[in-house]
Amino acid sequence: MVRLLLIADTHLPKRAHDLPPAVWDAVDAVDVVIHAGDWVEPDLLDALEGRARRLVACWGNNDGAELRRRLPERADVVLEGVKFTVVHETGAATGREARMAREYPDTDVLVFGHSHIPWDTTAKTGLRLLNPGSPTDRRRQPYCTFMTAAVHAGALRDVELHQLDRNG
């Protein structure tokens, strides 16, 4: 079994000085950290590269030249037989499942960010779409959020959205 942490839109240091303690605890507890872009500055990338067992990540629209040099626009990885694609933007919510299923026909799970709005749906093709929200910038959402999940025997399992209180 591979344990996962899904985060996006961390916007450090503009929206927070650091990740909340609960997110760092999750980094230490999982096998793979997936970050779907909008880091803003490379310091968090450096920290996660040094602390996470494995990092799968892409850049977002707010990420500058150094992050774009170090990260892909799209990251693909196969974990326990499940193909993940990580991107930042997926466009409008309306029609997202069908549009992403056409764009990523060989992907099992699409992890994305940009909106700061948690999202967990499945397209008719079986593509699972996950947006963990943001652990540092809730925007119009009631809570800052992140997700955990597991992959075992070729299946995504135990997807959980975690809400953060003000203390993380």
pTM above 0.85, yes or no: yes
Residue 122 belongs to domain with CATH number: 3.60.21.10
Task: For residue range 103-144, list pLDDT tens digits in order.
Answer: 999 999 999 999 999 999 999 999 999 999 999 999 889 999
Q: Considering only CA atoms, which of 32, 64, 63 is closest in space to residue 48?
A: 32
What's the rounded Cα separation, in Å, for the pair 139 and 123?
26
H/E segment holding residue 97: helix 96-103
Number of domains in the chain: 1
Q: Which domain holds residue 75?
A: 2-164
Residues of the chain whose pLDDT is less than 50? none
Other C-beta atoms closer than 10 Å to the C-beta of 41 total 17
Strand-pairing partners, residue 82, are 79
What is the pLDDT, as a whole number, of residue 165?
Answer: 81
What is the pLDDT, as a whole number, of residue 167?
Answer: 53
- Are the CB atoms for 73 and 59 separated by under 8 Å? yes
| SS3 category, 160 | strand
